Amino acid sequence: MSDILRELLCVSEKAANIARACRQQEALFQLLIEEKKEEEKNKKFAVDFKTLADVLVQEVIKQNMENKFPGLEKHIFGEESNEFTNDLGEKITLRLCSTEEETAELLSKVLNGNKVASEALARVVHQDVAFTDPTLDSTEINVPQDILGIWVDPIDSTYQYIKGSADIKSNQGIFPCGLQCVTILIGVYDIQTGVPLMGVINQPFVSRDPNTLRWKGQCYWGLSYMGTNMHSLQLTISRRSGSEIHAGNTGSEAAFSPSFSAVISTSEKETIKAALSRVCGDRIFGAAGAGYKSLCVVQGLVDIYIFSEDTTFKWDSCAAHAILRAMGGGIVDLKECLERNPETGLDLPQLVYHVENEGAAGVDRWANKGGLIAYRSRKRLETFLSLLVQSLASAETQT
């Protein structure tokens, strides 16, 4: 299993190289954008783009994993269709060829004969990448390959990727928007139980060299299987203890409540925002990208990522869910949490990744229908949920 995770880390780095290469030349980048077809669109966005970078990344991950682990490819699922239509109206199915020259030739058809761009992209696609991690290298875990499924989001936060803002300032370490919010997400789950087992989040755009203007990235991973839990942040110290008291709140109930922080979507419902403000005070941060918001929880920048809509999908959450499980956390269904009676002692409703939504079509088959909450500590989540439910109930009685 650690062999599979090691290979996923390598392909995620190769994917990050492709994402960075596609952003280096603006003229090239404009060639790579195609509006998604109706059935592929996320209903949250009026215009939803797929980029050649998206599809290339997805196909590179699929092909590399198939080469190293024959048979695994049929269990790799992604957000993007690999079909493109060029200016001549030709439909081209993009795939990774066995040689750099053949890939360049195929890319040239998608890019309407742009030979320079095609060759440059093919070079990056076929470049070997090495990735080492001492923690992972010292571990050998075996799991049957035939129980594994993989969800891939090749470039999460495509809008931020297309926009390409490079000079956004962070708010207490959290970027509201910009290239830092772009992530490559690879989540591995058990196809029989739907439980997430391994996750890789690659953040291609973390810091930029002021002289060369070239970006460097960062990779995070986690593994949770049969009692073994490991992750890439094991050697880092938590940014804050779990027992802080919120000094900003007044009133008998709030004065003794633990300090909570949350990251949310800018499109979050007003009722949730209002309830959160009563629980978290001013420690609520808006950010772009489901993958990036989950990463903020992984990094310990916030306690909670909460989203009440049904416009995130299995490929958005699986990678972070696996990493958070390795840390003692998880991702749960928000709607079910709010309806649950904690006194019954029922387990938290963790998201699972192997079952389609009944009666749904297109991408909605794989939507996280009840919304979600990502967390690092179960104990803090239980306290947070209790306060959130109280806050929502008190708001209802006042209306």
Point out the residues that are catalytic: 54, 79, 153, 155-156, 158, 316
- Cα 364 to Cα 352: distance, rounded to the nearest angstrom: 15
Q: 81, 49 in Cβ contact below 8 A? A: no
Contacts (Cβ under 8 Å, ≥6 apart) of 192:
147, 354
Is 156 annotated in a binding site? The answer is yes
**DSSP line for 172-223:** TTB-SSSGGG-EEEEEEEETTT--EEEEEEEEEEEEE-TTT--EEEEEEEEE
Which among 188, 262, 197 is positioned nearest to 224, based on CA atoms? Answer: 197
Is 184 annotated in a binding site? The answer is no
Q: 201, 219 in Cβ contact below 8 A? A: yes
Return the half-sphere exposure (C-beta side, CA atoms, 13 A cut-off) of residue 212: 6
Which residues, listed in sequence order, are joined to residue 270 by a DSSP beta bridge? none
Three state DSSP letters for 19-67 = HHHHHHCHHHHHHCEEECCHHHCCCCCCCCEEEHHHHHHHHHHHHHHHH
Contacts (Cβ under 8 Å, ≥6 apart) of 239:
299, 300, 301
Which residues, listed in sequence order, are joined to residue 183 by a DSSP beta bridge? 156
Is 316 annotated in a binding site? The answer is yes
Q: Detail the residues annotated as belonging to a binding site for Mg(2+).
A: 79, 153, 155-156, 316
Q: Detail the residues annotated as belonging to a binding site.
A: 79, 153, 155-156, 316
